[in-house]
A and B are shown apart, each in its own frame.
Chain A
């Protein structure tokens, strides 16, 4: 069975099967091992119950409707869609604003716009690795699409945002597609650790939710600089 994505490409839908096995591995060592390591020991045990339901293949099958890739498979590309209650032209303009990407993707990479559709990206992983690369806008259609890619290396090799009107006048469906090139083909929990505990599918979701908040409210929700009885208070 083939799934047609918003950008018109198709590919085999092997997602449910692959997600089922791949994601169970995640439950133990990837997302579970990193994101949920925040929890107490008992909480993690409770997560095992939640996790068993989360990764039920019957549920995962539907993920293809909004996001084709589920974590790290053999094709490290993720897509995520979110409706935003503003016209496509406004969203296009804000995405193109040089100040936007550094804010909404700040949790992933340090991004420095250098003009002419170019930006420098730098990721410092918690494993002591760091990578820097340049992204260049390679295609754009006002109000519809912006695509940027590297001409070779880089952890993120392609980043594409698309806008199309939602049905019923409910704003604009905004789809973010990101293609990764994990160093050494690193997988699972290693990749998750590299991205500060955020695995790719969730990463696209976080970036788009940040974008939506920025568009609608002018700010991004945060726990930075808040009080807590520990060193990293976030």
Chain B
């Protein structure tokens, strides 16, 4: 089959690889219908996250059709149109039972690579470094999905492929980020980042009853999407002297009740703090630029909630004192998609959540490297590049 693979830092290629096969009894094989880029992919493409191997098939946000199932698969059937959360969960361990699916104890084939960094291994994920399992990714014609009965969710009729696609990662990540904020009526939620996850977090905050959502970014077309699709008020951080002051002004001096970081380790910003991070990251003295995170911590009201969805490595210069003295609550996780999928599919079926607009650019798999290039540089207003293998 054809697949998009990582060949080295900033070197993606398309080539022919062997087809996946059923290896374990709970596996299924999917024919990938759609697969999309994620901002977190850029971290290993750019070389900020180690443990990629040349030849790794990448991609972790996808939907498709079941074409084969293993001997222990009971619920999922050949021909089912399904969406699959990006983290692989067994459904049996304590973490899965507690709805902490991305922390599953039973799906990491290489815990020895990750445990020294995190203290404990997490669940495995498709196409996202060997420290996160080394599973082949979804930018390919076919993909093996372990624990199919737990991880494949049937897409109801009336929910389009392009909508279902983003229920694999962007939507559950954003939804979980809003859920972390324990939103009460009247709350104001600020969201750093208007990429796929940020826009989904904004819409989800609305669905959960936020009265105001403030979106922060610098790209006019993304800010426009935040206004038009998520009903957010917008703040272009390049147009204000201080995001903190701007947010104080917008909230009458109180600050947002909750702040969601949907940016992560390759944040852009302005001013000396950004320059500090950029230089340290370029010299590989730190892996993360964390300006969005620091701004969110400062801007949040006293006793408010910080919800971190951006992906980080080992960030330094983290303002713990601000969090402590302001009595903030910090919630964060890689997405527990399996915990939210039924609700997300219901919202999608009712038209309350329609992430299809994120699919600004569509490519064949053969054009994958160009798709990632446009996605990385936001060329032509690219929010998400979608591949149809």
A interface, CB within 8 angstroms of B:
31, 35-36, 38-50, 53-54, 82-83, 85, 170-171, 198-199, 202-203, 205-206, 209, 212-213, 216-230, 233-234
Contact = CB atoms under 8 A, between A and B. Distances in A.
17 contacts: A40-B50, A42-B9, A42-B48, A43-B48, A46-B313, A49-B284, A199-B112, A209-B121, A212-B105, A217-B106, A218-B72, A222-B23, A223-B133, A227-B57, A228-B57, A229-B54, A229-B57
Contacts of B8: 40
Residue of A50, A205, A226 contacting most chain B CB atoms (<10 Å)? A226
Interface string B120-159: 0100100000100111100010101011000000000000
B232 to A, nearest CB: 34
Nearest to A202: B112
Nearest to A214: B106
B369 interface: no
Contacts of A229: 3, 5, 7, 13, 15, 17, 54-57
Interface residues of B, number: 66
Contacts of B56: 228-229
B108 interface: yes
A223 B126 CA distance: 11
Contact of B47 (A43, A198, A202): A43
A228 B116 contact: no
Contacts of A39: 50-52
Interface stretch (B86-94, B202-210, B330-338, B339-347): B86-94
A38 B50 CA distance: 8
Q: Chain B interface secondary structure, helix, strand, loop or mixed? A: loop
Interface in B1-55: 1, 3, 5, 7-9, 13, 15, 17-21, 23-26, 44, 47-55
A126 to B, nearest CB: 16
Given A42-B284, A50-B117, A221 B13 contact: no
Nearest to B105: A212
Given A223-B136, A229-B3, A229-B17, A45 B284 contact: yes
Given A222-B23, A227-B19, A227-B57, A46 B50 contact: yes
B54 A230 contact: yes
B106 A221 contact: yes
B25 to A, nearest CB: 6
Contact of B112 (A44, A198, A220): A198
B134 to A, nearest CB: 5
Interface string B54-76: 11110000000000000010000
Residue of B3, B112, B130, B146 contacting most chain A CB atoms (<10 Å)? B112
B286 interface: yes
B140 A227 contact: yes
A228 B26 contact: no
